[in-house]
Amino acid sequence: MKAYNIEVLPQSVSEEGPRGGGWCFGLPPGIVEEQWPLDANTGYPLQHGFTLLLPAEYRGFGPDIVALSFFGSAHDEDEGRVGEIAALVADADAKEPSDSDLYPFWMSERLSHPRLYRIADFLGRSHAVILLTEAEFNAPFCQPPRLRPNKYRDRIRRPEWLARGAAAVYLDDQTENYGLLQMLGDTDRADLFYNRALDVTPRAEDPNAGIAPRDEWAAAETGYQAFYYWEGDEVEEENYREHAWAADHLPDHIGGSMRPAQNIPDISPYYIEFEEYLGGFNFGGGNAWLDLQTMSFDWAQ
């Protein structure tokens, strides 16, 4: 069992070229327009964050599933909620509505991808995961659904990423983050197709690979080791140290040692921890995690 770093590369993945470890931003592969998951609160298409090729140890969904696409609420999401849409999406047994403006949302749920997982975070914001076969991972990219006037959805401001692309919108707020700008490259001409390639490589050493992360006071439950320690066991700022084995650990990763913005959640060893820039989300400056065993998701700032 190994843990894996996820590195954002300063290059794109083309529709015709090799897919590598996946990509962030841009468009998802292997689905059709009708299968693009909609925001359960607003009816707008969810923002594609990343498509990731999973290492063999983390493919617990069956031998045919090799990757996933993660979708989330837009970085500039209007925090409104359209009750009629939310109620329709939440009711798996809902009858076909007679209202023609509600029909598209009812039909979208019935045409959804067979391996779609809908997830809500602690604020009730909408997110989704689609599990992909190898053929789907290598399939053509899908553009978001075309939007026609709708009296329910149009109560909410349209997310800007649908016009300019997720990377361009996210970087509007990152003009002084030079390290991030250098990593993501020139987004002056960014659009819906703009993406950044991901490289997935095993960590040289991570004693927590295959172990469920736990906070210090509960680490004995699983044998999890914190990546840091206190010199002389004195909990003072000047005594904070990090273990040598954590030196190559990137903030975006699959399994192994976790660096959450707050306390460690109750999570399995099979998880992805990622930062806001892995797709351009708003986690209040914190980071997020997706449990691949329970298909649960949350974030902290």
pLDDT (tens digit per residue) in 140-176: 999 999 999 999 999 999 999 999 999 888 888 776 6
Q: What is the amino acid identity at position 140?
A: P
Q: Return the bridge partners of 230, or none.
A: 240
Q: What is the per-residue pLDDT across 11-25, written as a single tens digit (0 to 9) for each?
A: 999 999 999 999 999
Determine contact, residues 55/119, Cβ cutoff 8 Å: no
- CA–CA separation, 134 vs 22, rounded Å? 12
Determine contact, residues 196/9, Cβ cutoff 8 Å: yes
Q: What is the pTM of this model?
A: 0.94
- CA–CA separation, 198 vs 275, rounded Å? 13
- CA–CA separation, 179 vs 170, rounded Å? 14
